[in-house]
Amino acid sequence: AATLARAAERTAGRLLAPSAPHRLADVVPAPQRVEPGPVEAWVLPSEAVVVASADPAALAVAEQLAELLRPATGYPLPVTDATAPEPAGGIALLLDDTADLGAEGYRLDINTDGVRLTASTAAGLFYGVQTLRQLLPATIESAVPVSERWALPGGTIIDAPRFPYRGAMLDVARHFFAVEDVLRMIDHLARYKLNHLHLHLTDDQGWRITVDSWPKLTTIGGATEVGDGPGGHYTKADYARIVAYAAARHITVVPEIDLPGHTNSALVAYPQLAPDKIAPPPYTGTEVGFSYVDPADDRTYDFITDVLGEVAALTPGPWLHIGGDEAFKVKGETYTGFVERVQRIVADLGKTVVGWHQLAPAAHLDGRVLQWWGTNGEDPTTADAVRRGARLILSPGNHAYLDMKYAPDTPIGHDWAGLIDVRKAYDWDPGSHVADVPTTAVLGVEAPLWTESVTSLTDIELLLLPRLPAIAELGWSPRETHDWAGFRDRLAGQGPRLAAAGITFHRAPEIPWP
């Protein structure tokens, strides 16, 4: 209670004091290039207009910006398209494909006339908007009008990501999460310029996506979760809603159907998939590695073709994740033969296969991506798969796993890969983490959140924030900007923003929160 009272006093104090102008470089993830101008260049006026290139995608981003700014400012911020959009005392979002800013880059200029944001794509404009948002006073995150000078620092930011794949994973199988929770997680990803949401849709404890051709997967397989909870599943409409919400934020959904292990929920529903053709009891514990679909039965591959076909049809993004982890009972050539057959099914569906790095020994297939979750960067099998053409998504268990505890007293989470405080989450280099894997083979980074002990949105946010920004920065920012002291201070500035937005987060003691 005393701590709460002190926090309230601090908040009140902050609201009464005039906000110090924000520094142009105080952005997470750190921008590629920052050229500061005047400490304070422009104050958003109540009559400001947002103009955008006359292109539906640019106008959509302009509308998103206006929606971000309206609640706290209380300003109308009309969005208009202009044939010659110039920031005449307003904000301009310009698509310019001659600007050489890359598929996701942007340029942000703030001067005494206002703000001009340029990009080659709507995604670039969207990332520029995320930066602009962080340059306004923290109270901009408030859902209700705040009396504030909406001052912006002057100068130019030229920015683009280091890696094309920047993601997070939510395990909706161990515990099921409502669509609304997933949408809120997508908001967190968008804030930090992540562009992929990996959904771990199936596991021993539950099957979470409707498959019309195998309906019992959800009606039976979806009715359980870890512990005594009711489980649940996404209808195709639910899934489409998640995909669309993500797409509007330039985030691609990566669906995972974990095979051949982690399949108890499918075996409960369809015992013909089981090696002994007997339905196992539903499983609501947290052990791994005991279940598998029968790799010797052709019906298994019919099942996989149906399931992956329906999931692919619902998924506009290029990826299908086939799991492949911890199939302890499917060994050697049986395992690689299984994987090769499933990789082929994915390719025939026109999708690019992603799998956990246990897929490494299987034959290469064009474009395949391995998600590396090791805890020791010496991994000759994975390095060999990379030599044969695989690309890597880096999710080192001892740095990027969001289900690891921060400290021994973290109330939920695991510690099998160690404790991961914010510094541990930040202090590694995806470009050189796995021995004998060149940076050029690294597609990017992903922070997975397994949910054996995670049961609510508050739990998700506790583990996600503030480590997600650390992983986001590793995926976005040039290596030259990597600096713990600098990151720590910039991250501290996120605290009041998250607080103003009503988002709970872990007040990590190593961060100098204001």
Q: Which residues would be at the binding site for ligand TNX (CB under 6 A)?
A: 288, 325-326, 356, 373, 401, 403, 414, 450, 452
State the CB neighbour count (10 A cutoff) for residue 421: 20
Least distance between ligand TNX and beta carbon 326 (Å) = 5
Strands (E), 120-192: 151-152, 155-159, 165-171
Report which DSSP code applies to 174. Answer: T
| 114, 123 contact by CB (below 8 A) | no
Least distance between ligand TNX and beta carbon 287 (Å) = 10
Least distance between ligand TNX and beta carbon 349 (Å) = 22
Least distance between ligand TNX and beta carbon 395 (Å) = 8
Least distance between ligand TNX and beta carbon 323 (Å) = 7
R_g of the chain computed on alpha carbons:
24
Report which DSSP code applies to 166. Answer: E
What is the rounded distance in angstroms from the CA atom of residue 482 to the CA atom of residue 423? 12
Which single residue is written with the structure tokens 């539903």? 282
Question: Helical H runs in 349-406?
Answer: 380-387, 397-400
Least distance between ligand TNX and beta carbon 188 (Å) = 20
Least distance between ligand TNX and beta carbon 33 (Å) = 36
What is the rounded distance in angstroms from the CA atom of residue 139 to the CA atom of residue 200? 35
335 vs 450, beta carbon nearer ligand TNX:
450
148 vs 446, beta carbon nearer ligand TNX:
446
Q: Say what the alpha-carbon torsion angle 5, 188, 198, 325 is, to the nearest 10 degrees.
A: -30
39 vs 407, beta carbon nearer ligand TNX:
407
Tokens (6 digits) for 36: 């500061």
26 vs 203, beta carbon nearer ligand TNX:
203
| 168, 185 contact by CB (below 8 A) | yes
Q: Is 326 a catalytic residue?
A: yes
| Long-range Cβ pairs for the range 233-236 (8 Å, 24+) | 233/176, 233/206, 233/207, 233/208, 233/209, 234/172, 234/179, 234/201, 234/208, 234/209, 234/210, 235/210, 236/209, 236/210, 236/212, 236/314
Tokens (6 digits) for 391: 């690309």
Task: Classify residue 100 by burial, with Cβ atoms within 10 Å: 0-12, 13-18, 19+.
Answer: exposed
Which of 40, 63, 310, 326 is an active site residue?
326
165 vs 356, beta carbon nearer ligand TNX:
356
309 vs 377, beta carbon nearer ligand TNX:
377
272 vs 456, beta carbon nearer ligand TNX:
456
What is the rounded distance in angstroms from the CA atom of residue 328 to the CA atom of residue 330? 6
Q: Which residues contact 237 (CB under 8 A, 6 or more apart)?
A: none
What is the set of active-site residues? 326
